[in-house]
């Protein structure tokens, strides 16, 4: 096989065979194909696309390029939840204990934050003592013992995807549906799941800004799932504003615990219920949405979901006294109100800017080695369609970095578009595709 012939085929809009795709992935991973030829092929795929069979073959080739976690000794049913990311997205921390409290096993690996989006692993680490770096044996044992474990991955999952993603970033080829779909799905398949629910975020705080493209991406991922024997359901959710009312690690844990106690922001509630319902239906534990909804309500109201979270925190070395008494979380040195530039109605929030402000304050990282300040973040006081006056804060900054305050205030003020008109607010859950 010859990489030049493969590039020429895709350049001329022809279909690649499974063997050609596997050849490219294995030879590129092992360094036998240089970046310039890989870049040419990726650009040809970007311009000419891939059909469903090719996309599924690319997914499996990337999934098979590294370790594949085998969780079959834990359960036949391994459901994973993935979010395409956003600002203030603490849904995993609320959703997964709910699912585990219903007796559905949860073995979930989560990433760390980078750039304007946060990561579940960092958020969990803001609970003193919580260890996200368990060995795979400990991870599996915890799922067997208490039905849930949330860790970060120490495995070399889908390394070909990492290499191709980095290359795409440098050649303007990130926003291609087959490339995004295969990238996400390869990692989910490598992490051992057989049923996958994807929270596909869409809007100013997500990498998919456009709902039509997001729906095509969702259908592509569902199609890959069908081709490779995994059930995939996508919930398209609105990321036109931060999720809930907090952005930043410890602040989001506090909001998540309050949510598990039944005190949920409306958008958090809608997203959590919607994803939980899809997971319950996939697990076969309920026949219809109504009964799945009742099951979720019951585990929250009975306190079973919160108990499961406490059990998880304890099992992974965390200090549960912080969960029982949220005031134990120490506040940072500076808590500063942010006032709007003008009064009126909030018609838009440039959510990515809010994420960037949280990074300035210390809550996130610009590169993967940067240290995070768990106490830093933003409390959102006003959201879309709230009416504001100049003397009422739109947000509060939490930080230990005095010299970042002015810049963060400006970034937050600039992210709020305030006019004298009301806008029609999009629903939180936009569409379910399966």
Q: How far is the CB of 193 from ligand URA (least distance, A)?
A: 15
- Does the annotation count 161 as an active-site position? yes
The residue annotated as part of the active site, out of 168, 315, 356, 383, is 168
Say which DSSP state 85 is in: -
Q: Which CB atom, from 126 or from 183, has the smaller least distance to ligand URA? A: 183
334 touching ligand URA, by CB under 6 A: no
Minimum separation from the CB atom of position 179 to ligand URA (A): 6
Give the x/- contact pattern for ligand URA in 193-212, rule: CB under 6 A: --------------x-----
What secondary structure does DSSP assign to 260-319, as a single string?
A: HTT---HHHHHHHHHHHHHHHHHHTS-SSHHHHHHHHHHHHHTSHHHHHHHHHHHHTT--
Whose Cβ is closer to ligand URA: residue 100's or residue 177's?
Answer: 177
Q: Which of 83, 142, 153, 183 binds ligand URA (CB under 6 A)?
A: 183
Yes or no: say if 199 and 81 are a contact pair by the CB < 8 Å rule.
yes
Edge-to-edge strand list for the sheet holding 195-202: 79-83, 195-202, 231-238, 429-433
d(Cα 39, Cα 361) in Å, to the nearest integer? 36
The span of 115-123, 179-187, 255-263, 365-373 binding ligand URA (CB under 6 A) equals 179-187
Q: Least distance from C-beta 129 to ligand URA, angstroms?
A: 30
All residues at 6 or more sequence positions from 404 whose CB lies less than 8 Å from its CB, including other chains? 360, 361, 362
Considering the complex, what minimum distance in angstroms separates the CB of residue 162 from ligand URA?
Answer: 10
Q: What is the DSSP string of 346-366?
A: EEEE-HHHHHHHHHHHTSS-S
Question: Which span (127-135, 176-184, 353-361, 362-370) binds ligand URA, by CB under 6 A?
Answer: 176-184
**Does 115 participate in binding ligand URA (rule CB under 6 A)?**
no
Given the complex with ligand URA, which of 85 and 244 has the nearer CB atom?
Answer: 85
Residue 47 DSSP SS3: helix
Q: How far is the CB of 163 from ligand URA (least distance, A)?
A: 12
167 binds ligand URA (CB under 6 A): no
Are β-strands 429-433 and 106-110 bridged in parallel, bridged antiparallel, or unpaired? unpaired
| Among 42, 102, 109, 184, contact with ligand URA (rule: CB under 6 A) | 184
Q: Please, which residues have CB within 8 angstroms of residue 271's CB and are 6 or more apart in sequence?
A: 91, 199, 235, 237, 243, 428, 429
Nearest to 309 by CA among 344, 358, 353, 258: 258
**Tokens found for residue 62:** 């990337």
Instruction: Choose between 174 and 347: whose C-beta lies nearer to ligand URA.
Output: 174
Angle at 151 between CA 214 and CA 98, to 5 degrees: 70
- Determine the interface stretch with ligand URA among 32-40, 63-71, 117-125, 177-185 (rule: CB under 6 A): 177-185
- Residue 385 burial (CB count, 10 A): 13
Return the residue nearest ligand URA (CB atom): 183
Q: Does 165 bind ligand URA (CB under 6 A)?
A: yes
Footprint (CB under 6 A) of ligand URA, residues 348-387: none
Quick one: which segment of 17-25, 41-49, 178-186, 398-406 binds ligand URA (CB under 6 A)?
178-186
Q: What angle do CA 132, 305, 85 make, to 5 degrees?
A: 50
180 lies in the site for ligand URA, by CB under 6 A: yes
Query: Binding string, 294-313, against ligand URA, x = CB under 6 A?
Result: --------------------
Q: How many residues bind ligand URA (CB under 6 A)?
A: 6
State yes or no: is 187 an active-site residue.
yes
Question: Considering beta carbons, is residue 180 or 360 the nearer one to ligand URA?
Answer: 180
Which segment (41-49, 180-188, 225-233, 343-351) binds ligand URA by CB under 6 A? 180-188
Q: Which of 89, 92, 70 is nearest to 81 (CA)?
A: 92
Of 27, 93, 133, the C-alpha closest to 254 is 93
Contact 324, 131 (CB under 8 A): no
Identify the active-site residue in 10, 81, 123, 187.
187
What are 331's two structure tokens? 């506040």
CB of residue 181 to ligand URA, shortest distance in Å: 8
Any catalytic annotation for residue 423? no
CB 40 within 8 A of CB 167: no
Choice between 183 and 204, CB closer to ligand URA: 183
Q: What residues are annotated to the active site?
A: 82, 161, 168, 183, 187
Binding interface with ligand URA (CB under 6 A): 165, 179-180, 183-184, 207
């Amino acid at each position: 096989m010859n990489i030049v012939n493969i590039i020429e085929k895709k350049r001329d809009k022809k279909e690649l065979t499974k063997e050609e795709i596997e050849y490219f992935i294995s030879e590129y991973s092992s360094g036998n194909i240089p970046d310039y030829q890989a870049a040419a092929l990726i650009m040809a795929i970007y311009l000419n696309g891939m059909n469903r069979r090719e996309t599924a073959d690319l997914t499996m080739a990337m999934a098979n390029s590294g370790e594949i976690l085998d969780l079959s000794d834990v359960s036949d049913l391994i459901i994973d939840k993935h979010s395409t990311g956003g600002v203030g997205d603490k849904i995993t921390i609320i959703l997964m204990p709910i699912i585990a409290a219903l007796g559905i096993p949860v073995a979930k690996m989560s990433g760390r934050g980078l750039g304007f989006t946060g990561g579940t692993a960092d958020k969990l680490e803001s609970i003193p003592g919580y260890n996200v770096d368990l060995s795979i044996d400990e991870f599996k044992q915890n799922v067997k013992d208490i039905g849930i474990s949330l860790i970060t991955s120490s495995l070399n999952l889908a390394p070909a995807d990492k290499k191709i993603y980095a290359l795409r970033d440098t050649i303007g080829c990130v926003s291609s549906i087959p490339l995004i779909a295969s990238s996400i799905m390869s990692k989910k398949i490598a992490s051992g799941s057989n049923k996958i629910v994807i929270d596909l975020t869409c809007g100013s705080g997500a990498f998919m800004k456009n709902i039509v493209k997001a729906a095509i991406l969702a259908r592509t991922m569902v199609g890959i799932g069908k081709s490779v024997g995994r059930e995939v359901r996508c919930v398209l959710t609105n990321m036109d504003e931060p999720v809930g009312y907090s952005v930043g690690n410890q602040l989001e844990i506090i909001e998540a615990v309050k949510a598990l106690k039944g005190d949920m922001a409306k958008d958090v509630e809608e997203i959590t219920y919607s994803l939980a319902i899809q997971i319950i239906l996939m697990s076969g534990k309920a026949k219809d949405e109504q009964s799945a909804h009742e099951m979720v309500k019951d585990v929250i109201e009975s306190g079973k979901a919160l108990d499961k979270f406490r059990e998880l925190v304890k099992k992974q070395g965390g200090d549960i006294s912080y969960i029982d008494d949220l005031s134990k979380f120490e506040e940072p040195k500076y808590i500063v109100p942010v006032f709007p530039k003008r009064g009126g109605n909030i018609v838009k929030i440039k959510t990515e800017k809010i994420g960037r402000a949280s990074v300035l304050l210390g809550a996130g990282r610009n590169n993967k080695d940067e240290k995070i300040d768990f106490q830093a973040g933003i409390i959102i006081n006003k959201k879309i369609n709230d009416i504001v006056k100049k003397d009422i804060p739109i947000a509060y900054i939490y930080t230990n970095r005095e010299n970042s305050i002015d810049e963060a205030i400006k970034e937050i003020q600039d992210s709020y578009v305030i006019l004298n008109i009301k806008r029609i607010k999009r629903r939180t859950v936009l569409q379910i595709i399966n």
